[in-house]
Amino acid sequence: MHQNSILLLFLALAVIAVIVFTYVYLSSKNAEQSEQGMAQPLKKRFWFLLILFVILAIFASVTIPKSPYFLFADETPAKIVHVSSMQFAFFLSEHAIDPKNPSGEPIELPVNELVEFRVTSLDVNHGFAIYDGSNRLITQTQAMPGYVNRLRYKFTEPGTYNILCLEYCGMAHQIMRSSFIVK
């Protein structure tokens, strides 16, 4: 989901929650001594749970297949980019990076073709997050020492993409960044 739809969904649900709680509170404030509360609460509880369960089940079955682990899983990437991160820089290269003497190169990626980033870290955990031309976070993975995370993505828009570190890594975390071009 796009961030804006996520925010709207959340705000809508939050407003509903506020309305329900306010309504219930007022119903108590205005209640007569003789009122009996909710009729058949067990039955209503059951229906509430069932509906909630169904909504969650639908939501899960729609979203889980869209998890990054399954996207493009059986396609072959057209391009592979190696990423090594360290406090406080990213090295990107089309060739394997020597951990003892890491170095990077400018990266240009093809539009509408599958790219695989092989992301690791040489010191602490970092985050490898890709922001598009309108500065929207579009995808990410973690950079963990001793492991390589493979992030696959198809860029549909040409332009410059920024990479920001999205796992707290120390005093210069906020300026740890890089970028690449999609043509």
Partner 1 sequence: MESIKLRKITSVWILAVFVLFIVSIILGILMRLNQGGVINQNPVTFYANMTTHGLTMIGIWFVAGMAAINYLMERYVKTSYTVNLIALVLTVIGVLMFWVSTFIGKFHAAWTFLYPLPFKLLGAESWSTLLFLLALTIFGIGWLIWSVSLMTQILRKYSISQAFAWQHFKKNPSVDTPPFILISMITLIGVIASLLAAVVLLALLFAEYFSNGSFVNDALLMKNLTYFFGHTIANEMLYLGLAVIYELFSEVSGRPKWKTTWYVALAWNCTLVFILTAFFHHLYMDFVQPEGFQIIGQMASYLASLPAAGVTVFSVLIAVYRTKMKWTLTNLLFFIGVAGWVIGGLGAVIDATISNNVVLHNTLWVPAHFHTYNAMGNVLFSIGFFYWFSTQFAENIKPERFTKWTLATLLIGGAGFLLAFYYGGADSIPRRYSVYPAELSIGAPWAVVGAIFATVYLIAILVFFYNISKRCLKILSSPS
The b/e string for 142-156 (b: 16+ C-beta within 10 A; e otherwise) is bbbeeeebebbbbbe
- Interacting residue with partner 1 among 97, 106, 110, 131 (CB under 8 A): 131
* Nearer to Cu ion (CB atom), residue 33 or residue 135: 135
* Nearer to partner 1 (CB atom), residue 56 or residue 111: 56
Bridge partner residues of 163 (DSSP): 130, 178
Task: Choose the binding region for Cu ion from 6-14, 29-37, 119-127, 155-163 (rule: CB under 5 A).
Answer: 119-127
Positions in 161-180 near Cu ion (CB under 5 A):
165, 169, 173, 176
Residue 79 DSSP SS3: strand
Positions in 31-60 near partner 1 (CB under 8 A):
31-33, 35-38, 41, 45, 48-49, 52-53, 56, 59-60
Q: Does 79 bind Cu ion (CB under 5 A)?
A: no
Q: Which two tokens stand for residue 85?
A: 């991160």
Positions in 63-82 near partner 1 (CB under 8 A):
63-64, 66-69
144 binds, among partner 1, Cu ion, none (CB under 5 to 8 A by kind): partner 1
Radius of gyration of the chain (CA): 24
Of 183, 179, 159, nearest to 92 (Cα)? 179
CA 95 – CA 67 distance, rounded (Å): 28
Shortest separation between residue 75's beta carbon and partner 1, angstroms: 16
Binding mask 96-125 for partner 1 (x = CB under 8 A): ---------------------------xxx
Pairing of strands 126-131, 159-164: antiparallel
Shortest separation between residue 87's beta carbon and Cu ion, angstroms: 8
Q: Does 94 bind partner 1 (CB under 8 A)?
A: no
Of 13, 18, 101, nearest to 55 (Cα)? 13
